């Protein structure tokens, strides 16, 4: 190959291609959110609903929540840069159905409902949609959880993480304060 063949390649394009080859879904949400295309996939009202869903499913406690971990931006970037047309339509429909249901039950858009009302509403919705085998909702929830637990906050603050493990402990007492291990 001639040297001129490589003139059109740049390091960023090569890295993007490498990430796609090894499964770009494993990229930290913060990195993928930064690579987001201009404008994004969701409209402003949809982004509000998405943020409310993320905040309700994984709220901030003693650890950062899904919004703090930039999961809404991660999901928006996935839809903009990765998803097929069918998956985009399914994802948008799921967010719209959830918002319509919230408006009907709460009398206002999900994004403007108080946190306690959103939690009560989503607890009921979650049980009903999972029992009904709603694939769109299941995919939505799976991507939201994946985005959170692949984020730095989810993997290092929500889960227990040791870069270099210490001694082997064959039996560790489990308490309500014990965190799970990061992958």
Q: How many CB atoms lie within 10 A of CB 121?
A: 18
Q: What six digits make up the tokens of 29?
A: 């949400």
The backbone torsions φ and ψ at residue 59, rounded to the nearest 5 degrees and listed phi first, read: -75, 165
**What confidence score (pLDDT) does residue 3 get?**
43
Is 94 within 8 Å of 79 (Cβ atoms)? no
How many H-runs (helices) and E-runs (strands) does the chain carry?
8, 0
The confidence score (pLDDT) of residue 74 equals 92
Angle at 161 between CA 139 and CA 142, to 5 degrees: 5
Distances, alpha carbon 43 to alpha carbons 46, 47, 88, 95, 124, in Å: 5, 6, 13, 11, 26
Cα–Cα distance measured from residue 15 to residue 172, given in angstroms and rounded to the nearest whole number: 41
- pLDDT for 7 equals 43
Structure confidence at residue 13 (pLDDT): 55
Cβ distance 58 to 71 under 8 Å? yes
pLDDT recorded at residue 172 = 76
The residue with tokens 């159905």 is 97
CA angle 28, 30, 35 (to 5 degrees): 100
CB 144 within 8 A of CB 75: yes
Paired with 160 in beta bridges are: 181
Closest alpha carbon to 39 in 30, 47, 31 = 47
Q: What is the distance between the terminal CA atoms of the chain, rounded to a whole angstrom?
A: 41
Tens of pLDDT along the chain (183 residues)? 444 444 444 555 545 555 554 454 455 555 544 544 456 888 989 999 999 999 999 999 989 999 999 999 999 999 988 888 999 999 999 999 999 999 999 999 999 999 999 999 999 999 999 999 999 999 999 999 999 988 888 888 887 766 666 777 778 788 888 777 665
Question: pTM for the full model?
Answer: 0.69
């Amino acid at each position: 190959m001639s040297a001129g063949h490589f003139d059109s390649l740049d390091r960023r394009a090569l890295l993007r291609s490498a990430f796609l080859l090894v499964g770009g879904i494993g990229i930290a949400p913060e990195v993928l959110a930064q690579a987001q295309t201009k404008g994004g996939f969701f409209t402003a009202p949809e982004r509000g609903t998405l943020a409310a869903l993320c905040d309700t499913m994984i709220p901030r406690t003693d650890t950062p929540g899904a919004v703090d971990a930039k999961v809404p931006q991660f999901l928006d970037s996935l839809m903009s840069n990765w998803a097929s047309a069918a998956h985009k339509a399914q994802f948008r429909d799921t967010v719209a159905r959830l918002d319509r249901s919230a408006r009907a039950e709460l009398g206002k858009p999900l994004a403007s409902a108080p946190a306690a009302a959103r939690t009560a509403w989503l607890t009921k919705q979650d049980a009903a949609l999972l029992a009904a085998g709603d694939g769109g909702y299941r995919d939505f929830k799976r991507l939201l959880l994946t985005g959170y637990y692949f984020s730095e906050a989810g993997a290092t603050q929500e889960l227990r993480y040791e870069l270099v493990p210490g001694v082997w402990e064959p039996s560790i007492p489990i308490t309500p304060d014990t965190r799970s291990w990061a992958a």
